[in-house]
Structure 1
Amino acid sequence: MAEQDGTATPHAVCLGESMAALLPDRAGPPETVGGYRPAVGGAESNTACALAALGVPTAWIGRVGDDGFGRRLTAELAGHGVDVSAVAVDPHRPTGLFVKETGGSALPHDLGAGRSRLHYYRTGSAASTLSPALLADPAAARLLDGARLLHLTGITPALSDGCLALVRALLADRRPGRLVSVDLNWRPVLWRGRDAGVLPALLDAADVLLLGADEAEAAFGTGDPAALRARFPSPATIVVKDAEHRATALTRGGPVVEPALAVDVVEPTGAGDAFAAGYLAGTLRGLDERRRLRLGHLCAAVALTAAADQGRPPAPAVVEALLAASPREWAATRVSADGIMSPVLGRPAAPLGAPGAP
């Protein structure tokens, strides 16, 4: 691991918005909820936490307000092992906030069991003022200079003109030995009043492009892997995630398809970010495509069985056994909040890590 000024340089840098979160104490529409507990969330910081949990030295770069939410956010990410040394504090604008709504109460206006919705309050947030000026900050420059992986999402360019300019500058600054990954994270509400036509060129500039088939269908009219490869010819790899069914990696050597694990879902939020972390960690480790996809599926499964946005993967020996499983053994594996049942692990179920623990 490289060293600069006495501190370790992370292998991965995730850059973008993170937000304070309020999670309900029960299922049901907001008017019926008795209280909320504070938490944090955000696609890039979720991925950063999951990468750190997999043993990848990781930093998150973003901007928060000079408020309690911002202080809590940075402290919690640091507690997950994420480097927050380049997080800027805005003295004038607040940290963004979202409130989660979960279904399953059977009350009027309920979303339905297993469904959730996020209500965002981010207009004018500190993160919306990110711009290319960030690149002149010594702390951010140090992290970006030493990173083997830079991870971005399609959320950031939707936040403001400055955020769009920052993403363009980062994508134009190609460096030998540094991969740039972009996860679509399609948020149509954020693009209202903005030109979403800028997004395809940004996605096509990535080395690794990750898209959900459903969100790609909504954004570009197709979730078909072959059609998406034709639409985005430049990335060395495109990964298309088809929810609970499969993930397809489209590489220069041809497509690789790996089925998803069977999962007893507790909460869907954050699963896509966890998949990205698993796949990218596998890429940094030099795993073959099938194992990269499997590690993505495993991390997504862990997130799906955790009530919070982040879960923690099982012990390394369990992970390695699952990555090496035969197709039959992989298909017979099931993940629940109680652990992982698989022919390669025996009984009882192999426990998951403590959700949200560093």
Structure 2
Amino acid sequence: MSSDGASTSGHTLAVVCLGESMAVLLPDPPGPFEAVDTFRVAFGGAESNVACGLAALGVTSAWISRVGDDGLGRRLTAEIAARGVDVSAVTTDPLRRTGLYLKETGTSSSRLHYYRAGSAASALGRELLDDPAVLQLLDGARVLHLSGITPALSDSCLDLVRALLARRRPGLLISFDLNWRPALWLDRDPAVLPALLDAADLLFLGADEAETAFGTGDPAALRRMFPSPATIVVKDSGHRVTALDEDGTAVTEPALTVEVVEPTGAGDAFAAGYLAGTVRGLDQRSRLRLGHLSAAAALTTHGDHATPAPDPVINALLAASAADWAATRVTALGIDSPALPAVAAR
């Protein structure tokens, strides 16, 4: 797929993502910590994951954040930039460290151990909007992507998110992913979340996390709970995703059959795929399918980032019949689908 948005040198981008990214230590080879002797350094964070996923799909993106004046901060910023993401508005905090988490991996699930309290990104605040580099990106963006993680980090981060939502301008679509993290809200008040979510134009909700946070994962009930966004997208993990527009239109697309290698990062990949479809002006079903395809790629690899299928494969599956879509199977070796010619899908 061709690149969408202007050159990053002009600071006009399709999507700007704002939030914390952390260094990640991954067991190498994967396994429980008690059986692991070595770790591999990577990076991860909901918003930077989305930015990287967009760049992999050919959509220009930027990531705005703050890192510590340390090797991990310099490394993760360089690696995100190497994936094609504009990092010109990432700043360095001379006093606070870069956040860190360890991922304990198993055959069907992962356990994440976070060390992010007092991190550089947790000190982000409203004053960020005085930074010319930040303003240049925000003023040129078509989409601003946020998540519920950022307001959970600190009072100043909550204030920043409120300021960003209040600073909306014509032509800017604000995307917000709930990304419910119970541990982050233990000493904070999650009652601030509904107003933030309802202020978005496009809202992503996992059915399971919405059930925990708001008492329901039902798409229709969530649409009533959040009436203001033009679209809410409710993800029923591994089953289906439903997009509900404000006019009452609902489109549901079943998830692909995937042989899961490791589940972390699939939600961010879905958001990247859906946003890529939005930027390209695809219809609702195609946006959902591109989200599913991006999530499937993430599910079949270790780590938070994956290489998407080639453009001809994606285009064929976006146009596939409902029967061919349902018969499609994704594994680490590739994609098998009656919608594809008898050639390797990856």
* CA–CA separation in structure 1 for the residues paired with 2:204 and 2:6: 28
Structure 1 residue 344: Cα displacement: 1.4
Structure 1 residue 3: Cα displacement: 6.7
Aligned equivalent of 2:131: 137
CA contact (8 A) 1:256 1:290 kept: yes
The one-letter code matched in structure 1 to 2:89 is: A
CA contact (8 A) 1:20 1:40 kept: yes
Answering whether residue 178 of structure 2 is matched by residue 198 of structure 1, we say: no
User: SS of the counterpart of 2:184?
Assistant: coil
Q: Deviations over 1:124-149 (max 9, x none)?
A: 10000000110110111100000000
User: SS of the counterpart of 2:185?
Assistant: coil
Aligned equivalent of 2:114: 120
Alignment counterpart, residue 289 of structure 1, candidates 253, 272, 284: 284
User: SS of the counterpart of 1:346?
Assistant: coil
Aligned equivalent of 1:62: 65
Name the % identity.
70
The one-letter code matched in structure 2 to 1:149 is: V
The one-letter code matched in structure 2 to 1:240 is: V
The one-letter code matched in structure 2 to 1:285 is: R
The one-letter code matched in structure 2 to 1:214 is: D
* CA–CA separation in structure 2 for the residues paired with 1:207 and 1:272: 19
CA contact (8 A) 2:208 2:236 kept: yes
* CA–CA separation in structure 1 for the residues paired with 2:24 and 2:222: 33
* CA–CA separation in structure 1 for the residues paired with 2:168 and 2:70: 35
* CA–CA separation in structure 2 for the residues paired with 1:175 and 1:241: 28
Structure 1 residue 318: Cα displacement: 1.2
C-alpha change, 1:305 and 1:165, in structure 2 (3 Å) is same
Aligned equivalent of 2:324: 329
CA contact (8 A) 1:2 1:146 kept: no
User: SS of the counterpart of 1:229?
Assistant: helix
* CA–CA separation in structure 1 for the residues paired with 2:136 and 2:172: 14
| TM-score, scaled to structure 1 | 0.93
Aligned equivalent of 2:170: 176
User: SS of the counterpart of 2:342?
Assistant: strand
Answering whether residue 46 of structure 2 is matched by residue 18 of structure 1, we say: no
Answering whether residue 86 of structure 2 is matched by residue 83 of structure 1, we say: yes
Answering whether residue 302 of structure 2 is matched by residue 307 of structure 1, we say: yes
The one-letter code matched in structure 2 to 1:331 is: A
Answering whether residue 49 of structure 2 is matched by residue 40 of structure 1, we say: no
* CA–CA separation in structure 2 for the residues paired with 1:256 and 1:115: 29
User: SS of the counterpart of 2:229?
Assistant: coil
* CA–CA separation in structure 1 for the residues paired with 2:308 and 2:260: 16
The one-letter code matched in structure 2 to 1:7 is: G
Structure 1 residue 347: Cα displacement: 2.2
Give the unaligned 5+ runs of structure 2: none
CA contact (8 A) 2:229 2:246 kept: no
Structure 1 residue 203: Cα displacement: 0.4
Aligned equivalent of 2:274: 279
Counterparts of 1:102-113 in structure 2, within 5 Å, are: 102-103=105-106, 113=107
The more displaced of 80-89 and 338-347 is 338-347
* CA–CA separation in structure 1 for the residues paired with 2:37 and 2:222: 44
CA contact (8 A) 2:6 2:60 kept: no
User: SS of the counterpart of 2:306?
Assistant: coil
User: SS of the counterpart of 2:85?
Assistant: coil
| TM-score, scaled to structure 2 | 0.96
Give the unaligned 5+ runs of structure 1: 104-112, 352-358
Structure 1 residue 8: Cα displacement: 4.2
The more displaced of 142-151 and 341-350 is 341-350
CA contact (8 A) 2:11 2:136 kept: no
Answering whether residue 96 of structure 2 is matched by residue 101 of structure 1, we say: no
* CA–CA separation in structure 1 for the residues paired with 2:76 and 2:206: 27
* CA–CA separation in structure 1 for the residues paired with 2:6 and 2:20: 26
* CA–CA separation in structure 1 for the residues paired with 2:6 and 2:238: 38
The one-letter code matched in structure 2 to 1:295 is: L
Q: Deviations over 1:137-172 (max 9, x none)?
A: 011110000000000000000000000000000011
Structure 1 residue 349: Cα displacement: 3.5
C-alpha change, 1:8 and 1:170, in structure 2 (3 Å) is closer
The one-letter code matched in structure 1 to 2:188 is: R
Aligned equivalent of 2:225: 231
CA contact (8 A) 1:338 1:349 kept: no
* CA–CA separation in structure 1 for the residues paired with 2:322 and 2:113: 40
* CA–CA separation in structure 2 for the residues paired with 1:209 and 1:242: 14
Answering whether residue 156 of structure 2 is matched by residue 162 of structure 1, we say: yes
* Root-mean-square deviation over aligned CA pairs: 1.2
Alignment counterpart, residue 74 of structure 2, candidates 71, 80, 88: 71
* CA–CA separation in structure 2 for the residues paired with 1:342 and 1:193: 48
Paired residues in the alignment total: 341
* CA–CA separation in structure 2 for the residues paired with 1:172 and 1:132: 11
User: SS of the counterpart of 1:99?
Assistant: strand
CA contact (8 A) 1:66 1:94 kept: yes
